[in-house]
Structure 1
Amino acid sequence: MRALARITTSRGGLARVLAVSYLSLAAAAVAPSTPWRYTAPPGCARAASSASSSQWKQRQARDWYGRAAKVASLKSRAAFKLIEMDSKYKLFKSGQTVIDLGYAPGSWSQVAVELVKPHGRVVGVDMIPAQPPKGVSTLQGDFRKEGVQKLLKDYLVEFPSAPDLGVPGGEGGSIISDRPSYIDTERADSADHGDGAANDGRLVDVILSDMWAPWARATGYPSRTLDNAYYRLMNVSGNNGRDHAGSMLLCNAALKFANDTLRAGGHFVCKFYQGNEEKVLEGKLKKLFTRVHREKPYSSRPDSKEMYFVAQSRKGAVILENIDDT
C-alpha cells in the first residue's frame, strides 16, 4: 500500500488509489460467501431523491470516502486521512507502540493496529464510550486530566510488551481499568536491569491526536440536537475562533504528553483548526522534531478548516521545558 505513494496522479487521485487499495485488502479478508462489489467513483452516486432528505444526508450520499469506509468495515471515513499521511510520511512500522488520543469511534486505531502487526500495540484514549477495535486497548476518560494521563503512563510501564496481534482473538479490544500504580515497582526493577533508566519513561513510538474540545452544554433544545452529550463531543461548535482555541489547548496537552513519553526518533500527529496561534505551536514542533509538515489530506472535507501537523523524528536531547524557556 505504501508503494502507491510513488504513483503520480491528479489532485485527489492518490487518495482514491490508496482507498481502493485498502478496500481490496479488506475485501480479501471477507468471507468467501460475501460478495465483493466495487463502489462507484466520486461524482457518480445519485443524490437522495426524497424532498424531505436533509442536506447532511445528501452530502453523505455523495461522499465517496464515507461509502468506501462502510464497504471496508472501517469505523469512519477518517481512516483514509491517516492512510494518506502514512503513505506520504511512513509513520508506522511493525512492533511500534502507538497512542491514539481522541480515538473514538476507532478508525485511526483500526488503521494503526494493522500497520504495527504482529508485535506492535495501540492504546486509545477518549471521553466518549466506544467499542475498542480488535487488538486495541482503550481508556475512557478526559485526557486533559492529570489522573488519566498518569493511568495511561502507568499502563505503558506495567505492560511494556504487546500481545501478538497476528493471533486470532476476540471481536474487540481491551478496556483499561483503574489499578494501583506500578511505577515504583518498575523503577526499582530498572535500577537492576537498566531498561527503564535508558528510556527515561519514553516508551511510545507514535502519538496521534485527532481530538477536539467538547463545547459547553446548551439547554432548551430537543434531546437529539445541542442538548445531547454525544453530539456536543462529536461535533465542532461552528465558531471558528472557539474551535481554533480549543484545538490549540488539546494540541499543547498532547505535545506535553509526547514530551514525557515519546522516544527519540518518534513521530507526532495532531489535528488543529486554523487560526492565529498555530504558528507558535509550529515553532515548538520545529525545535522538538527534525521535520514538521502541514497536511490537509484529500479525504478531509474541502469546506473544513481542520489541518494536521505531522512532526517526524523527535530530537532525543531536546525537551519541551527548555523550549518554553527560550
Structure 2
Amino acid sequence: MAYRPRDYYARKAKEERYPARSVYKLKEADQKYKLLRPGQVVLDLGAAPGSWSKYALERVGKKGLVVGVDLQEVKLSHPRFVFLRKDIFELTPEELLSAAGVSAFDVVLSDMAPKTTGDRSGDHFRSVNLAEQALLIAEKVLKPGGVFLVKVFEGEAFPRFVEEVKRRLGPVKRFRPKSTRPSSREIFLLVKRN
C-alpha cells in the first residue's frame, strides 16, 4: 500500500484537532494497557508536533503535568505543559526533574524517530540510537512501577535492544498499533519498571 498523507488517521487527527496522526498509536496503547491516569507526571521525549503531549494532558487532568522535549518547537499552550527545546543527548536528569518539580516521572514516552533516508539499515540503527538514549533517560528519571513506552524500528540490533530494556527496567511487551502504516518497521516496547 502506498503512503497517502490523507489517510483515515490523518483525517481523524485533523477533525479531532491533533497535530498528527501519531496520537492514535498512544491512544491505542493507553486503552489497551492503561498507561495514563489522572494526576500523573509524564515525560514526552520527541514531543513535536505535540499530539502525544496533548493527549497525555487530557488523560492526566488538572492535577497532572506533561514535560515535552524536542529540538523542534511544540505549539501547545497549556498551564500543565512544560516544554524544553533541547537535544535529548544533551539533557540531564536534573533538568527534567527540575522542569517537572518532581523526584521522578510516572510515565516516560518516546515516539522519536530519525529522519529516514531510505537506507533501511542506517535508519534502523539511528532509531535504535534514539531509543537507547530514551532508555538511558527513563532509567534515571522513571519511578519504580512507572511505565516506559518507546518506539524503535525493527532490524538487526532490535533483539539486543529488547534484551537491554529487560535487563535495565523489567519485562517487555511488544506492541504494534493498528494505526501504524503497513510498510513501517516501527514497533513499540512497553515496560513497567521493576
TM over 0.5: yes
Q: Deviations over 1:159-190 (max 9, x none)?
A: 23xxxxxxxxxxxxxxxxxxxxxxxxxxxxxx
Equivalent residue for 1:122?
Answer: 66
What is the Cα deviation at residue 108 of structure 1? 0.5
Q: Deviations over 1:74-133 (max 9, x none)?
A: 111100000000111111111111000000000001111111112110000000122125
CA separation in 2, counterparts of 1:282 and 1:290? 10
2:165 is aligned with 1:285:
yes
Q: How do 1:160-239 residues align onto structure 2 when only pairs under 5 Å count?
A: 160=102, 201=103, 203-213=104-114, 235-239=115-119
SS in 1 for 2:155: coil
Write out the 4+ residue segments of structure 1 that deviate beyond 6 Å after TM superposition: none
What is the Cα deviation at residue 154 of structure 1? 2.8
What is the Cα deviation at residue 64 of structure 1? 0.7
CA separation in 2, counterparts of 1:118 and 1:290? 30
User: Does the aligned pair in 2 maintain the 1:92–1:116 contact within 8 Å?
Assistant: yes
Equivalent residue for 1:252?
Answer: 132
CA separation in 2, counterparts of 1:288 and 1:137? 27
User: Does the aligned pair in 1 maintain the 2:131–2:152 contact within 8 Å?
Assistant: yes
Percent identical across equivalent pairs?
Answer: 36
For structure 2, which runs of at least 5 residues remain unmatched after alignment? Answer: none
TM-score by length of 1: 0.56
SS in 2 for 1:60: coil
**103, 112, 132: which one aligns with 2:76:** 132
Equivalent residue for 2:89?
Answer: 144
Equivalent residue for 2:191?
Answer: 311
2:20 partner letter:
S
Structure with greater Cα Rg: 1
CA separation in 2, counterparts of 1:291 and 1:115? 25
User: Does the aligned pair in 2 maintain the 1:110–1:133 contact within 8 Å?
Assistant: no
2:61 partner letter:
K
CA separation in 1, counterparts of 2:155 and 2:45? 22
What is the Cα deviation at residue 150 of structure 1? 4.2
CA separation in 1, counterparts of 2:143 and 2:97? 13
What is the Cα deviation at residue 284 of structure 1? 2.1
2:56 is aligned with 1:112:
yes
CA separation in 2, counterparts of 1:285 and 1:133? 33
SS in 2 for 1:100: strand
CA separation in 2, counterparts of 1:104 and 1:308? 18
Give the length in aligned residue pairs: 192
CA separation in 2, counterparts of 1:242 and 1:133? 36
SS in 1 for 2:89: coil
What is the Cα deviation at residue 137 of structure 1? 1.2
Equivalent residue for 1:184?
Answer: none
CA separation in 2, counterparts of 1:144 and 1:289? 20
Q: Which protein has the bigger strand share? A: 2
2:9 is aligned with 1:75:
no
CA separation in 2, counterparts of 1:288 and 1:266? 13
User: Does the aligned pair in 2 maintain the 1:106–1:133 contact within 8 Å?
Assistant: no
Equivalent residue for 2:150?
Answer: 270
Cα–Cα, structure 1 residues 90 and 291, in superposed 2: closer, same or farther, change >3 Å?
Answer: farther
Cα–Cα, structure 1 residues 301 and 133, in superposed 2: closer, same or farther, change >3 Å?
Answer: farther
TM-score by length of 2: 0.92
CA separation in 2, counterparts of 1:67 and 1:146? 35
CA separation in 1, counterparts of 2:63 and 2:122? 40
1:266 partner letter:
G
CA separation in 1, counterparts of 2:73 and 2:58? 22
SS in 1 for 2:5: helix
